[in-house]
Chains A and B, each alone.
Chain A
């Protein structure tokens, strides 16, 4: 059956490619040359402070791969799912526009900030702009942010383990693969190519075993299944965060890379050949300005597509590592802008996967729709119906493994941050074990409501607010250089407004239930315990307020620093003839 080209996801993928090409070859190039005036001759911190550990020049290809891997978490895959609740067209428009004018601007510019400021990371950059209190508040903000990321990932993995029978067994298989790989690589110094081949084979076998066993069934642990799974996950993560990096996190990361690359390539390929495979757009292009349980299209759409359009997380990657390892300034565009626009493409292809699943899957808020959509797109060229069961397990694992590896790192960061924050007073809270346990228990409590969408919006809100801060910071430094700062200030203003509004919306939503105006938001089995449901809603209300207050402080401080610089410039110009 031939399907009209326009009715398939293919056209939109190609359209996005053209838009990203324009952003990279025209707009980013212009900013690179005219605002930052990059030069191959300027010495970068990688050379200036060469220590072979943190600071050393790395080829732009390697750095591009690293940057893409570090920024391409689950955001581009999960975000479009929530955004598609308004129809696929608004989601597509925001992904493309966000990438073209905001996403790469932040990733690229924060790399340049680090390069031009002696390799400083986010904390010291903020300190230099608004002082010590700003730095402290940023730290507090990041702690909250990590908790919310943790809640999202822990909830997601637990949900998938519960929904897809066999995914847990496949996960365990891949974890064992990771342990074997770690031993082979580090203890027996085995050849890396051989180990890679083995890792891929064992991963595929794990998926096969999981599919074949297809056990345990859904809701295996009764009504509290998701919570039981989250505790099982927490135990695995606890061990992962405690043991030395090369024992768990490093090999797991290594193993997780291959299903991730494979999965992404398969989905993009599936979307591109959709005219041939007969996959049609069956989601409506537009569903409405307001969606029940999600909220109004403004601001929710803009915070829900987290990493796929713009993400504050990227600024942390850019300033903590990439900026310190940039070989020459001219590499900043391929690395920073290149990786972000590639991620935009990933988000677009994830959107394509949602375009082809039935609308009621999305309407029911079933995040597992991604797995179904990806299977639909890829099964036609991978063996048809016969391979569907295998592909379902594969695409559920694809998300689960990625979430676990990112979460293991996030738990580790939380621990390191806690140790830093509680140095001197309340030191027991910074203890390795205590901090790790807290960093796992709090997110599990957060995830208890089962209100996946609200959790995601908190994540998106805090994440994009961090992006707003990073963009304002960029505008501040660009204005200080006496260059046109609008290219960062305008997106910064937009993101500040959008994210603060989104947080306000969530505060409003949970405020209603906290003050008894509406029934608390909760899913079974929590609905049977109204007291607990109310308490969790109140907790979310408080979290919202804390995030909002911290965010308002940071935004105010950064924007006033920005305007001070601009005013200073104006006055200086007025004085000179």
Chain B
């Protein structure tokens, strides 16, 4: 099997596709290509999501999308490129206003303000903000398919791991909170007073609900597909192995591996091939053999090295074709 078309035939109920892997290997390109294919060729309403400001969807679709919210770049094809820093800043602002409104303050206590501001420095804040945005989008259920170009941190599977940690944390905290509320109720009953609804518990329940819904979707292999994007290079192979390990630990099924940037082998037949390129192709060949040996059943698609940068709808359509039905001639084995 080669090509994602076959995969989607086998799993027609997929709602979420996640492309994971190190930066610069073609994740964003693959995301854009799949989204394009599903929207333009199959008429699905697709949302393509990216956070990575470097290899950006803006470049690929040749429009400034960064931090602009959801933009329709082609019929049925919607793209959102999250500006996580901006989102965090807005979120902090929202919290500050909420506190001031709740307690009728004109100014925040300095300590609280400092605490809120200090959170932007946390790397975890960036991750959480991204995941939260993803969870929100999926929860909206507006699209037939969600394609996530995962940020490079931790292969993107960190998201699922974190969902688990957060869920456990919400459990613990809810428990502590409930117990505290119970004792507060005891005190209130004894005083003959009434008890107010615990807003914190409500908020916690909401967080947890969002989290579990999202995690359940993510770990349902009928609805969510994870693809690792890699290139035939030693580092990428090691990296993919590590990622597979992580997936196993988290009980997530890795749907497949997409091998990108493959040089057509028939180049080797060209007598005037520069020595450097020849060496490179021979090297790729060696690594491809290793990839075949290690991930054979997982290889889902093969994408060649193009003579141009993958930019613009036309070029993306071409990549999409390769992604969905990979060129047989690249498979020399």
Q: Give yes or no for direct A-B contact (beta carbon below 8 Å).
A: yes
Measuring CB to CB, which residues of chain A are less than 8 angstroms from any residue of chain B?
Answer: 185-186, 189, 192, 246, 250
A contact patch SS:
helix
Decide if B13 is an interface residue (CB 8 Å cutoff).
no
Encode contact with A along B178-203: 1 for CB under 8 Å, 0 otherwise: 00001101100110100000000000
Q: Are B192 and A186 in contact (CB under 8 A)?
A: no
> How far is A185 from B189 in the complex, measured between Cα atoms in Å?
7
In the complex, the chain A residue whose C-beta lies closest to that of B179 is: A244
Q: A189-B189, A192-B189 given. 14 additional CB < 8 A pairs?
A: A185-B186, A185-B189, A185-B190, A186-B182, A186-B185, A186-B186, A186-B189, A189-B185, A192-B190, A192-B192, A246-B182, A246-B183, A246-B186, A250-B186
Residues of chain A with a CB closer than 8 A to B192's CB: 192
In the complex, the chain A residue whose C-beta lies closest to that of B194 is: A189
> How far is A189 from B183 in the complex, measured between Cα atoms in Å?
12
> How far is A501 from B57 in the complex, measured between Cα atoms in Å?
91
| Chain A-chain B contacts (Cβ-Cβ < 8 Å), number | 16
CB-CB nearest 4 A-B residue pairs: A246-B186, A186-B186, A185-B189, A192-B192
A-B residue pairs in contact (CB < 8 Å), sample of 16: A185-B186, A185-B189, A185-B190, A186-B182, A186-B185, A186-B186, A186-B189, A189-B185, A189-B189, A192-B189, A192-B190, A192-B192, A246-B182, A246-B183, A246-B186, A250-B186
Residues of chain A with a CB closer than 8 A to B190's CB: 185, 192
Residues of chain B with a CB closer than 8 A to A185's CB: 186, 189-190
Q: Distance in Å from the Cβ of B148 to the closest Cβ of chain A?
A: 46
Residues of chain B with a CB closer than 8 A to A189's CB: 185, 189
Residue among B183, B185, B186 having the largest count of chain A Cβ atoms under 10 Å: B186
Q: Distance in Å from the Cβ of A52 to the closest Cβ of chain B?
A: 10
Residues of chain A with a CB closer than 8 A to B189's CB: 185-186, 189, 192
In the complex, the chain B residue whose C-beta lies closest to that of A192 is: B192
Q: Distance in Å from the Cβ of B34 to the closest Cβ of chain A?
A: 54
> How far is A524 from B270 in the complex, measured between Cα atoms in Å?
114
> How far is A186 from B192 in the complex, measured between Cα atoms in Å?
12
> How far is A186 from B185 in the complex, measured between Cα atoms in Å?
7
Q: Distance in Å from the Cβ of A34 to the closest Cβ of chain B?
A: 37
In the complex, the chain A residue whose C-beta lies closest to that of B188 is: A189
Residues of chain B with a CB closer than 8 A to A192's CB: 189-190, 192
> How far is A250 from B185 in the complex, measured between Cα atoms in Å?
13
> How far is A278 from B183 in the complex, measured between Cα atoms in Å?
51
Q: Distance in Å from the Cβ of A460 to the closest Cβ of chain B?
A: 33
Q: Distance in Å from the Cβ of B333 to the closest Cβ of chain A?
A: 65
In the complex, the chain B residue whose C-beta lies closest to that of A190 is: B189
> How far is A266 from B201 in the complex, measured between Cα atoms in Å?
49
> How far is A171 from B310 in the complex, measured between Cα atoms in Å?
86
> How far is A192 from B193 in the complex, measured between Cα atoms in Å?
10
Q: Distance in Å from the Cβ of A51 to the closest Cβ of chain B?
A: 14
Residues of chain B with a CB closer than 8 A to A246's CB: 182-183, 186
Q: Distance in Å from the Cβ of B179 to the closest Cβ of chain A?
A: 9
Q: Distance in Å from the Cβ of B180 to the closest Cβ of chain A?
A: 11
In the complex, the chain B residue whose C-beta lies closest to that of A195 is: B189
In the complex, the chain A residue whose C-beta lies closest to that of B191 is: A192
Q: Distance in Å from the Cβ of A409 to the closest Cβ of chain B?
A: 16
> How far is A186 from B182 in the complex, measured between Cα atoms in Å?
8
Q: Distance in Å from the Cβ of B182 to the closest Cβ of chain A?
A: 7
Q: Which of B167-226 contact A (CB under 8 A)?
A: 182-183, 185-186, 189-190, 192
